[in-house]
Amino acid sequence: MNLSSSSTLTVPVGTISRCDRWLACQRLQDLSIPCQCHSDGCLQVEVTHPMAILQLRSVVQQITASRSELIGWLERCLASDC
């Protein structure tokens, strides 16, 4: 995927539960990533730069991962100085 500063990509996010999509939308908006959670529960995220893709992945991971997965990720980060 090649994103220039003038191009955008709208990414539908359907891997998280409907109620968690509202939480994800709020978090992404806090990160200044344009997104909308429609009345049907569909979350659309507008990706305008590569960092937004990483932040989107991080937000979705925080919502979908189990507590033990998140603890394991944190421990690996601490061990390797992420």
pLDDT averages per 10-residue partition of the chain, 82 residues: 54 76 92 88 85 90 89 89 63
According to the model, what pLDDT value does residue 2 have?
Answer: 47
Which pTM was predicted?
0.72
What residue segments make up the domains of the chain, in order of their start?
A: 9-80
According to the model, what pLDDT value does residue 29 have?
Answer: 95
According to the model, what pLDDT value does residue 60 have?
Answer: 87
Q: Judging by DSSP bridges, how do beta strands 35-37 and 9-13 pair with one another? A: unpaired
HSE-up of residue 14 (Cα within 13 Å, Cβ side):
4
